[in-house]
Chain A
Amino acid sequence: MSPSVRLQEMIRVIRSARTQGEERGVIQRECAAIRAQFRQADNGGRSHNLAKLLYVHMLGYPAHFGQMECVRLIASPRYNEKRVGYLGAMMLLDENQDASLLITNSIKNDLAHSSQYVQSLALCTLACMGSAEMCRDLAPEIDRLLRASSSYIKKKATLCAVHIVRKVPELGELFTPAARALLAEKNHGVLHGAVILITELCERNAQTLVQFREAVPELVHIMRGLVTSGYSPEHTVAGISDPFLQVRILRLLRILGRNNDTASDAMNDLLAQVATNTDSSKTAGSAVLYETVLTVMDIKSESGLRVLAVNILGRFLLNNDRNIRYISMTSLQKIVSTDHNAVQRHRGTIVDCLKDQDASVKRRALELSLALVSAINIRSMMKELLLFLSTCPPELKSHAASGIFNAAERYSPSQRWHIDTILHVLITAGADVRDETVPNLIQLITNASQLHCYTVHKLYRALVADISQQPLVQVACWCIGEYGDSLLQGDCEETEPIQVTEDDILDALETVLQSHMSSPATRGFALTATMKLSTRITENVDRIRSIVSIYGSCMDVELQQRAVEYNALFKKYDHMRAAVLEKMPVMDRSSMGQTNGESGGGGVQELEPTKPKQPEMMVAPQPASQVCDLLDLLSDPEEPSLPGGPLGPGGAPLGPAGLMSGSAGGDLLYLLGGLELTPTPTPATAPAAVTVYDKSGVVLKLSCERPLDASQTITLTATNTSDHDVSSLTLQAAVPKNVQLQMKAPSGDSLPARSSAVVTQTVLLNNPNKVSLKMRVRLSYTSQGSPFQDTVQIDSFPTPGL
């Protein structure tokens, strides 16, 4: 039985195995047999055993024990064994294996073998897996073969030299003279190898590049011969004479002509000739044309030639073959920045490609379209892009959305168009937009004050239609909260009038609040909007109040906190509610990026990391009255920091300040932070002792000493002017961060009636950074058997130079 049948038999057996386990069993048995055979002496079947092992290796099983067998077989005098040995070496040995060095000597001997087929085996293997060591050893041999041998060997030796140059670039100098001589060869195989070798040499060595520039006329001559020659049965593919060689020569010309006028001039005619004469109906021709276009764009070609090249690419765009369309768009992408106008001419076709079935083509078309958007064509392009957005595959949606936003920002013809576009994107692809879209859009809307009415109408309609797209819902809630009054008016010049009642609006917001589709951030937006409406609408304030109080016991801590604070706004601080919930001022774009704590002058808004809630939500409890904040503060009385008022000195609104970029919680902060807060009773300047608190008969006075220093001593004096005794009086104070506070022991804790006695407490403040000083004081006392608690904020101390 001839041994090779055994190989095929084994393959058949392995293939007929029904399960993975069965296959593994068969293979293990075979491998054991093979290993046994390897250990035996020469038995004539060695090559077949190795072949079997190679098959097993291809299936993915380990075959490292065959490496030494490869080495042995390569050294065998028999051609068949050598052949399989070399094949095994190429598959099992690579330069990382130690055994590969062992074959160096065999290769060296075989390179000098009398049979050219043996020589070719050695050349092939060296070119495939030769390590740097082996290359250095054998380079002189290869050079010898390059010069004096048959074409069959020369072409293989040339490619072997290419491999050596890639592995050991210094050896390039050794091959340069031979490479130059090879250009005169007639044999296409050798010529092809020579061109590749020269390409490699020029890419790695600048001097060689200069040297080979002189060969440009020769290359042009060869190329011309190929283009104008008639049909040759040996080399013609689909009407093109030797496309492989043509493409390689074009690539070499590209490298030689780059940044060099003389060389580029020499090629101009040839490139024009190739571009016009090559038939591109089949892939071979298209490949040549493609390479020509790449070469033209890369060298210093004249403008006429460049236009020709772009036109070829445009023609490719109309080709039926999808591959060619893809290629042309890839190339257009590369040149769109340099030859923008030329590419613009093909804009229509590119935009059509957005509708192609193939996802790769769509991606390319999208990138190109975005690059081609300009002020002139923005409207029509945007129409196409928005259409694309509604039908595009999900992996491209976010890229498309951000591209559209960028384009809209740069070239929008009007604010209304801009807002419309963004709204459209939010409706179609809301889930895929980036986080900063929401604040960006809000900023845009506030800036377009004449469009508030229009915007809020549109958003309301969108909200009623669909509440699943979070960014859209967030923006809509914010707008309804801010501009609810224009919504109620009903008529708006730019859109159809629709009758909206207060109940409708509250219904919409409540739906958002209750829907499971809304994210926590969105519900925060909705709750705040509901609250803001309490000052904009007149009739349903009770309904708002009830909504807000329901959420006071919500599971979501953020919502609960907001609700509780809004409740407080209704109850205790109703007088401030209107001021607190006033309309927002126009935002400045540059401030959008500021993070908390960068506000100039005024209170430092901090992220309080010790708080258990999420950081960005933490700062949100700014709600209108900072007084309520003390609820947090006093839970950790050690905490000296003040989530300070956004008020700068003099009470000016710090609208832009204290913004957190991106997060919705920060947005809320931002929303409220810009509000004008009427300061709680601030004492007048000048007098030393100031009354800071006066309620139910309890009066608290404050006086300062040493006003100009960084450290101050403040004395708090409490008196009781009511008719009832006050006992268990405690005073707690909080100051902004960076200010150190030390409270001395109070003189007592009871205040007898009718100011018969006072309680004083000294507070030492150290303000090294000279931040604007504020203090919050909380009083708790018992009067007539019931406990009282109150807080007062002291914003300006009776000192100059605040």
Chain B
Amino acid sequence: MHFLLLFSRQGRLRLQKWFTPTPEREKKKIIRDMTAMVLARKPKTCNFLHWMDLKVVYKRYASLFFCLAIDDQENELLALEILHRYVELLDKYFGNVCELDIIFNFEKAYFILDEFLIGGEVQETSKQTVARCIERLSSLRNSCRRLRL
């Protein structure tokens, strides 16, 4: 995986995760290009795009577009499953997740992502295990805060 982007229907970025080192200016350009390309797609088209030498897999969940750029070698259908798994994890944690949750708790969205993907690969294939981890970390965080640790 090269990068993961979440953006709204108006094109505002809600989350960005880069798995390869990219300069700032390049990142901004990629975000602009991706947003333009994905938002221009009609509703009943397939979820795969070609951009440069990468395959881009995108899916719309409510008002957010989830966009993942993968290598030529990787399996696009599995990438769709990965996006879906991430959404399920967010949903489990926030309870009926919506865009506002991700806006106001963006750092938590990142923490959840970091328990699911590392270095551009899936680290845990079991949804329950990841969810349990996140819960544990959340309570750890709260207790640390209370104890000022």
Give the interface of A toward B (CB within 8 A): 8, 11-12, 15, 44, 51, 54-55, 58-60, 77-80, 83-84, 87, 94-96, 117, 123-124, 127-129, 152, 155-156, 159-160, 162-163, 188-189, 192-193, 196, 233-235, 237, 242-245, 247, 251, 283-284, 286-287, 290-291, 322-327, 357-361
- The answer to whether B45 has its CB under 8 Å from any CB of chain A is yes
Are A159 and B123 touching (Cβ within 8 A)? yes
Main SS at interface, chain A = helix
Cβ contacts under 8 Å, B14 to chain A? 58
Are A54 and B118 touching (Cβ within 8 A)? no
Are B48 and A79 touching (Cβ within 8 A)? no
Q: With A and B bound together, what is the CA distance between A79 and B126 in angstroms?
A: 26
- The answer to whether B13 has its CB under 8 Å from any CB of chain A is yes
Q: Given known contacts A78-B149, A96-B21, A159-B119, is B77 in contact with A11 (CB within 8 Å)? A: no
Q: With A and B bound together, what is the CA distance between A152 and B124 in angstroms?
A: 9
- The answer to whether B107 has its CB under 8 Å from any CB of chain A is yes
Q: Given known contacts A11-B104, A287-B78, A326-B46, is B148 in contact with A44 (CB within 8 Å)? A: yes
From B22, B75, B77, name the one whose CB has the most chain A CB atoms within 10 angstroms: B77
B119 touches which of A152, A162, A192, A234 (Cβ 8 Å):
A162
Q: With A and B bound together, what is the CA distance between A84 and B107 in angstroms?
A: 8
Q: With A and B bound together, what is the CA distance between A193 and B120 in angstroms?
A: 11
Q: Given known contacts A58-B13, A80-B141, A233-B128, is B76 in contact with A244 (CB within 8 Å)? A: no
CB distance from A417 to the nearest CB of B (A): 36
Cβ contacts under 8 Å, A193 to chain B? 121, 123
Q: Given known contacts A124-B114, A233-B128, A327-B76, is B148 in contact with A358 (CB within 8 Å)? A: no
Taking A59-B13, A188-B125 as known contacts, 10 extra A-B pairs with beta carbons closer than 8 A to each other, sorted by chain A number, are A54-B107, A78-B148, A80-B149, A87-B111, A95-B21, A162-B119, A243-B81, A251-B75, A287-B80, A322-B46
Are B125 and A58 touching (Cβ within 8 A)? no
Are B118 and A156 touching (Cβ within 8 A)? yes
- The answer to whether B23 has its CB under 8 Å from any CB of chain A is yes
Q: With A and B bound together, what is the CA distance between A237 and B77 in angstroms?
A: 13
- The answer to whether B16 has its CB under 8 Å from any CB of chain A is yes
- The answer to whether B106 has its CB under 8 Å from any CB of chain A is yes
Q: With A and B bound together, what is the CA distance between A87 and B106 in angstroms?
A: 11
Q: Which residue of chain B has its CB nearest to the CB of A59?
A: B13
A127 touches which of B103, B104, B118, B137 (Cβ 8 Å):
B118
A51 touches which of B107, B119, B123, B145 (Cβ 8 Å):
B107
CB distance from B104 to the nearest CB of A (A): 5
B126 touches which of A54, A128, A235 (Cβ 8 Å):
A235
Q: With A and B bound together, what is the CA distance between A95 and B119 in angstroms?
A: 14
Are B22 and A94 touching (Cβ within 8 A)? yes
Q: What 1/0 flags go to B59-88 for Cβ under 8 Å of A?
A: 000000000000001011110111010000
Cβ contacts under 8 Å, A361 to chain B? 46
Between A and B, 5 residue pairs with Cβ closer than 8 Å are A189-B125, A233-B128, A283-B77, A286-B77, A361-B46
Are B48 and A55 touching (Cβ within 8 A)? no
Are B45 and A360 touching (Cβ within 8 A)? yes
Q: With A and B bound together, what is the CA distance between A54 and B47 in angstroms?
A: 30
From B13, B28, B107, B111, name the one whose CB has the most chain A CB atoms within 10 angstroms: B107
Q: With A and B bound together, what is the CA distance between A12 and B105 in angstroms?
A: 12
Q: With A and B bound together, what is the CA distance between A200 and B44 in angstroms?
A: 37
Give residues 131-149 of B contacting A (CB, 8 Å). Answer: 133, 137, 140-141, 144-145, 148-149
